[in-house]
Amino acid sequence: MGITIEFYAANPEVFVTLQKQLASPYPREEEEQCLNDQMRRYPHADFSLHLRWPDDIDALCWAMGTEGLQGPSSADDLLEEELWFDGVSAFVGRLSQTFPLALAQASDKSIKHITERWVSSFLPEKSDLAYRVSAYQNCVRALFDLRGIAQTALESREPLLLFLLW
pLDDT, tens digit (0-9, with 9 covering 90-100), for 1-55: 468 899 999 999 999 999 988 887 766 777 777 777 888 888 999 887 778 889 9
Averaged pLDDT score across all residues of the chain: 90
Question: In terms of Cα–Cα distance, which of 10, 1, 2, 156 is closest to 92?
Answer: 10
| Continuous H helices in the chain | 12-22, 29-40, 55-66, 75-78, 98-104, 108-122, 129-156
In this prediction the pTM is 0.89
What pLDDT, on a 0 to 100 scale, did the predictor assign at position 2?
60
pLDDT of 129 above 90: no
pLDDT (tens digit per residue) in 141-161: 999 999 999 999 999 999 999
What pLDDT, on a 0 to 100 scale, did the predictor assign at position 51?
82
pLDDT (tens digit per residue) in 71-99: 999 999 999 999 999 998 899 999 999 99
Q: 27-61 burial, b for 16+ CB within 10 Å, e for fewer? A: eeeeeeeebeeebeebbbbebebebebeebbbbbb
